[in-house]
């Protein structure tokens, strides 16, 4: 007499539609909630304040908005802001290239980590503290103050002090953008150029510079944006003297305090447009840099 052996289906059955997985259901709500929170946070902190600046600037009409561009105080502030960028960007570009070359092409020299940390110092030091450090060095009672005063050299409350402050806060950008690009491209092409008889200068101009151009432009762009938008360090060393040591960010603060709100909002719109242009150019350069070298910023 044969005995039937019960058979058990080993294929797992999918969960019933009437009993959905609680974990997957919870995950379904997490993503929309996170996206909603991010959008809400950006709207409150960034988008609404930025839109309000434009609304206030044009609230009196386009004519009043354009009249601000003819005022002497505004023009002086704009010229001084441009001067800060014209001086600071080339200086920090040259320094950034030299520092990036020294660090990117020499990975094992003693003190490399310390040098990188020193270059990154402006990222962590408050701009106000940076301005105070310059005052303590070059002010009337500073280390070099008596010698500067004896030789009738004015640093604090003058353009040289503002340049020093701007150079300090925008120092790391070029170096920190070029270093990873140099490390990524390696030295094979440069060594091949030298083998073919190229000098150091020819190798730099024809091989190295074309390879790092997008990272370099990216660093220069960020340096320019920081130089033209710096407030904290510059206000400490400049004294915010209208028509003499007042840049556009300082002009915005001073005009708002004096209840010249239209002028303040107009200058703020100009700085905001600079930020938008910087952001667009930054995105373009990021994509080009990533495509050329594979380095993500």
pLDDT tens digits for 246-286?
A: 999 999 999 999 999 889 999 999 998 888 888 888 788 77
Given its phi and psi angles, is residue 61 left (phi above 0), alpha (psi -120 to 50 degrees) or beta? left
Query: Which of the four pLDDT bands, split at 50, 70 and 90, describes residue 293?
Result: very low
For the chain, domain boundaries: 51-293
Rounded to 10 deg, the angle between the 261-293 and 172-185 helix axes is: 10
Compute the distance between CA of residue 60 and CA of residue 218 in angstroms, rounded to an integer. 37
Q: How far apart are CA 51 and CA 279, in angstroms?
A: 16
Taking the whole predicted model, whether its pTM rises above 0.75 is answered as: yes
**Where does the chain show beta strands of DSSP type E?**
none
- Cα–Cα distance, 78 to 250 (Å, whole number): 11
**The CATH number of domain 51-293, selected from 1.10.3720.10, 2.160.10.10, 3.40.50.170, 1.50.10.10:** 1.10.3720.10
Measuring CA to CA, which residue among 228, 230, 229, 233 is closest to residue 133?
233
Q: Which two tokens stand for residue 39?
A: 């959008």
Chain segment 167-222, per-residue pLDDT in tens: 999 999 999 999 998 888 888 888 888 888 888 888 888 888 888 888 899 899 99
Q: Are 183 and 104 in contact (CB under 8 A)?
A: yes
């Amino acid at each position: 007499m044969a005995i039937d052996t019960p058979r058990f289906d080993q294929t797992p059955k999918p969960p019933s539609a009437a009993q959905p997985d609680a974990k997957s259901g919870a995950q379904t709500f997490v993503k929309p909630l996170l996206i909603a929170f991010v959008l809400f946070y950006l709207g409150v902190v960034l988008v609404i304040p930025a839109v309000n600046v434009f609304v206030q600037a044009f609230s009196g009409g386009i004519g009043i908005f354009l009249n601000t561009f003819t005022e002497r105080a505004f023009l002086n502030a704009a010229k001084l802001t441009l001067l800060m960028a014209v001086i600071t960007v080339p200086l920090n570009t040259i320094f950034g290239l030299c520092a990036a070359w020294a660090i990117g092409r020499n990975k094992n020299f003693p003190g490399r980590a310390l040098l990188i940390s020193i270059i990154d110092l402006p990222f962590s030091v408050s701009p106000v503290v940076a301005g105070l450090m310059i005052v303590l060095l070059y002010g009337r009672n500073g280390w070099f103050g008596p010698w500067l005063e004896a030789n009738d050299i004015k640093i604090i409350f003058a353009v040289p002090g503002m340049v020093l402050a701007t150079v300090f806060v925008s120092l790391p950008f070029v170096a920190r953008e070029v270093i990873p690009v140099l490390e990524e491209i390696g030295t094979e092409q440069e060594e091949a150029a030298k083998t073919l008889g190229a000098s150091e200068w020819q190798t730099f101009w024809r091989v190295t510079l074309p390879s790092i151009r997008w990272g370099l432009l990216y660093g220069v762009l960020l340096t320019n944006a920081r130089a033209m938008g710096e407030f904290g360090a510059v206000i400490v060393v400049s004294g915010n003297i209208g028509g003499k040591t007042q840049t556009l960010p300082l002009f915005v603060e001073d005009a708002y305090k004096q209840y010249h709100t239209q002028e303040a909002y107009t200058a703020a719109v100009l700085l905001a447009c600079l930020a938008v242009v910087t952001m667009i150019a930054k995105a373009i350069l990021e994509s080009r840099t990533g495509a050329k070298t594979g380095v993500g910023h």
